[in-house]
Structure formats: C-alpha cells, structure tokens
Amino acid sequence: FFAAIPPAPADGILKLSVLSKADANPSKVDLGVGAYRTDDGQPWVLPVVQEAERRLASEPSANHEYLAVGGLPALTSGAQKLIFGADSPALAEGRVYTIQTISGTGANMVGAVFLKQFKPQRDAAIYISRPTWGNHRSLFQTAGHEVREYRYCNYESLDLDIDGMLADLRAAPPSQVVVLHACAHNPTGIDPTEAQWEAIADVMAERGHLPFFDCAYQGFATGDVDRDAFAIRLFAARGFELLVAESFAKNMGLYGERTGCLHVVVANAEQLPAVSSQLNRVSRATISTASAYGAKIAGTVLQDPALYREWLDNMQTMSARIKAMRAALRSRLEALHTPGDWSHVTSQIGMFSFTGLSTTQVAALRDQYHLYMTDDGRISVAGLNSHNVDYVARAIDAVVRA
Ligand code: LMR
C-alpha cells in the first residue's frame, strides 16, 4: 500500500532547528526559524502574557472545555479590530467574518480549503511572491490549488521589483487569488511603500484579483500595529473582498500555542451567514475547534485596555532590539570592509534580513562557522545579539571573501 511513496523534501526552515539543536559547538548561532530571542539568545515570554496567564490561572471557573467552532469571541473580536481598526467601515457594516484558526498556517489552510471550493474562477490559481515564506507553496498545493509566482524581489539590488510585480499581476488571467504579505515580507524584509501599495491595488482591481493577505508580523515592521495594517486597510477601504490570515505567534510570542484567525471581508453583509457557515464547516472538518489556551491569553490581552498598552510596549522592546541588531551587523560588516553593499540590512524591516548570500556561502557558514540560516540567505535578525554579532559579521566576511 505504501511502497511507492517517495520521501518528502525536508522543510527548509524547520530542518535548521533540528540541525542547529544537534550542533554542540559553542560558537553556534541559529538564525533560522523566525522566533524572537532575548539578548542572551533565549525565548521570551512577554511580560503581558505572563500577567494574562496569572489572571487566567486565578479564575475559579477556569476549565479545558472545547471552544465554539468559530473560536473564542474575546480573541476574534479583538483580532478584527487589530487588523481592520476599531473604526473600520467594513466592521461597522457587518461585512467581516473572523474564525479562530491554528495560528497563521491554519488560517492560510482554512482559507485555502475554502477557496478550493469557492474561488472566483474554478480554474483560478494562487499567485505567491517570488520569493515567499517556504511553506506557502506546499500549503496551497496540499489544498489542491495550482500555484504560480509573481516577481517580487530584485535579486541584484535586494529591493522590490515593483515593475515586475505589477506586470505579472497584470499579465495573469482575471480573477486570480493573490497572496500578499501584509507587512514585514518573509523572507525578504522588503515591503512596498504606501504609493506602491496603491499601484498594486489599482492593478488588482483592474484585473479583478482576490487579495489573500498573510499577516504574521503586525507590529514588527514599523513597531506600530496600525501602520503595519496599512495595506489591508487600504484594500478594505477601496472595497475589495479579501481574506487575511493573522498570527499571534510572533507579536505575542505564542508560537507553540498556535493562536491565530482568518478574516474574510465580503461585499455585502447578506453574504456573511453563508460564508461564515462554510468557514465553520471547513474548520469543523479539519480541526473541529481551535486551541483554547493561547486564545484565552490573546483574548485577555486584546480586551483589557491596560494590558493592550503593555503589549504594544512589549512589541516595541522586540522590534527595537531587532532594529539595533540590524544596525550592529551592518556597522560591523562595513567596518570589516566586507565586499558588497550592506545597506539592505538596515533598510529591510521585520524579523528577517535577506542577505544576498549564495547557497554555497550559506552552506560554508553552516559547515565551517556553525551559523544556521535558510538556503536562500535569509537570517532571522532576532537570533543576533550583543554576544554573537561580531562573530557573525566575521564569519560572513570570511565566506564573502573566500
Ligand atoms: C519562519 O518563516 O521562520 C516562521 O514563519 C516559522 C515557520 O513556521 O516557518
């Protein structure tokens, strides 16, 4: 029965965690998976999350019952406001349905399964950026979609290839599904400017494409959750129907709790009962109900004004440390006169920097310097700290000169 099954390729991101864990060398630096680390290289439980956990633990009625199929209302209603803004017309008009999911990946998957059945054109493909998060292609293909790419990164200048992107979106058949990173593009750290988002929206409207935003880093791009939601709010204000996959893995540090939501904006509130019932059906068929613990934490933080403000501060702490590490790495590479232009390390935003290092250089860094990054040259800047940044710069300098 199973004899003809070929082995699946290893996941390009998760394999690094395994390799790095198995490496006992004291110089080891793990810049692989996008997970925040403190300046001592440790995971960080946000203080606001600790406070929410204390409150939850002291609730006399605490239990482990199932959540409802749509999820925890404290989470879903808070998540809607976070994404669309408390004054969002789409929310006021009752045109948004939010379902709790297994973090951002689950949100993408619920959207993918839903779209397989109900996408605008039966033969519409899913368009992903080149490059994109390593799991997007596999995820949409697993849901049965054809996946195509649009140009995104100019690999020479390590900047946005806006002309290539617009040309590809224009050349695509009408009414395709286009996956867009809401902010802090993974893996490049390159985001469109506000004017470029307008131009993208123009082409998307002209061609009747359906935007599917993936929003895993709200708060990490500019440090301001509202500014980081600019693109989503722009498309919503321009009257697009759209989907948003939202993750609380990074911005609340709830990685393993798998806390997220899928939002669907419809054109007319009358469509919402049918759409929401179909999304609930997909959820019931795939995960039944979502995970409760992370949802209770995030719901507590989102609903309590004081905790919400503290959360914004905690996010500032993370994004400021990442920014400081970008500056530190760039200044060290420049001080070493490492061949090349390293300005992209500070102009790129979010958790990642797309270094431009080749696969051979990445392999050399791994094999000779115990430095782990994805094969495409992406580093998780959150893995840098004041103790390892010199070593990382010297290692990069050495392989670039080799
Ligand atoms: C990453 O890109 O490193 C993160 O989104 C973690 C993951 O699940 O791949």
Taking the centre of ligand 1 as the mean of its atom positions, its distance from the CA of residue 402, in whole angstroms, is: 30
95 touches 272 (CB < 8 A): yes
Angle (CA) 17-22-24 rounded to 5° is: 120
Residue 339, helix vs strand vs coil: coil
pLDDT, tens digit (0-9, with 9 covering 90-100), for 40-62: 999 999 999 999 999 999 999 89
Whether residue 247 has its Cβ less than 6 Å from ligand 1: no
In angstroms, the CA 13 to CA 31 distance is: 10
Taking the centre of ligand 1 as the mean of its atom positions, its distance from the CA of residue 173, in whole angstroms, is: 30
138 touches 131 (CB < 8 A): no
Q: What's the mean pLDDT in 201-223? A: 96
Whether residue 48 has its Cβ less than 6 Å from ligand 1: no
Whether residue 184 has its Cβ less than 6 Å from ligand 1: no
In angstroms, the CA 319 to CA 59 distance is: 32
Going by the DSSP 8-state scheme, the letter that residue 179 receives in this structure is E
pLDDT, tens digit (0-9, with 9 covering 90-100), for 172-194: 999 999 999 999 999 999 999 99
Assess: ipTM above 0.85.
Answer: yes
Neighbours of 141 (CB within 10 A): 13
Whether residue 388 has its Cβ less than 6 Å from ligand 1: no
* Most informative mutation of 18, 20, 33 for ligand 1 (most atoms within 8 A of CB): 33
Taking the centre of ligand 1 as the mean of its atom positions, its distance from the CA of residue 257, in whole angstroms, is: 14
Whether residue 369 has its Cβ less than 6 Å from ligand 1: no
Question: Does residue 120 surpass a pLDDT of 90?
Answer: no
Whether residue 373 has its Cβ less than 6 Å from ligand 1: no
| Among 331, 402, 341, residue whose Cα is nearest residue 158 | 341
**Which residue puts its alpha carbon closest to atom 2 of ligand 1?**
34
Neighbours of 351 (CB within 10 A): 26
In angstroms, the CA 102 to CA 107 distance is: 7
Whether residue 34 has its Cβ less than 6 Å from ligand 1: yes
Check residue 213 and give its pLDDT: 98
Taking the centre of ligand 1 as the mean of its atom positions, its distance from the CA of residue 105, in whole angstroms, is: 9
| Among 221, 155, 157, residue whose Cα is nearest residue 194 | 221
Q: Full-prediction pTM beyond 0.80?
A: yes
* Most informative mutation of 11, 13, 16 for ligand 1 (most atoms within 8 A of CB): 13
Q: DSSP readout, 253-297?
A: --GGG-EEEEEEE-SSGGGHHHHHHHHHHHHHHHTSS--HHHHHH
For the record, the structure tokens of 158 come out as 């390590």
Check residue 121 and give its pLDDT: 87
**Which residue puts its alpha carbon closest to atom 4 of ligand 1?**
34
Please identify, by atom number, the ligand 1 atom nearest to the C-alpha of residue 32. 3
- What residues are labeled active site? 133, 214, 250
Look over the chain and give the mean of its residue pLDDT values, rounded to a whole number.
97
Q: DSSP readout, 84-115?
A: H-TT-HHHHTT-EEEEEEEHHHHHHHHHHHHH
Neighbours of 122 (CB within 10 A): 8
Domains identified in the chain and CATH numbers: 14-44+320-401 (3.90.1150.10), 73-303 (3.40.640.10)
For the record, the structure tokens of 182 come out as 């809401």
Taking the centre of ligand 1 as the mean of its atom positions, its distance from the CA of residue 121, in whole angstroms, is: 30
**Of all residues in the chain, what percent carry a pLDDT higher than 90?**
97
310 touches 48 (CB < 8 A): yes
The number of helix segments (H) and strand segments (E) in the chain equals: 16, 13
Taking the centre of ligand 1 as the mean of its atom positions, its distance from the CA of residue 32, in whole angstroms, is: 9
Taking the centre of ligand 1 as the mean of its atom positions, its distance from the CA of residue 34, in whole angstroms, is: 5
Query: End-to-end CA distance of the chain, in Å?
Result: 49
In angstroms, the CA 28 to CA 392 distance is: 10
Total residue count of the chain as it appears in this document: 402
Whether residue 133 has its Cβ less than 6 Å from ligand 1: yes
Please identify, by atom number, the ligand 1 atom nearest to the C-alpha of residue 380. 3
Check residue 337 and give its pLDDT: 98
Rg value, the chain, Cα: 21
Q: What's the mean pLDDT in 144-161? A: 96
pLDDT, tens digit (0-9, with 9 covering 90-100), for 14-29: 999 999 999 999 999 9
| Among 384, 377, 329, residue whose Cα is nearest residue 351 | 384
Is the N-terminal amide bond of 131 cis, ω within 30° of 0? yes
Question: Does residue 327 surpass a pLDDT of 90?
Answer: yes
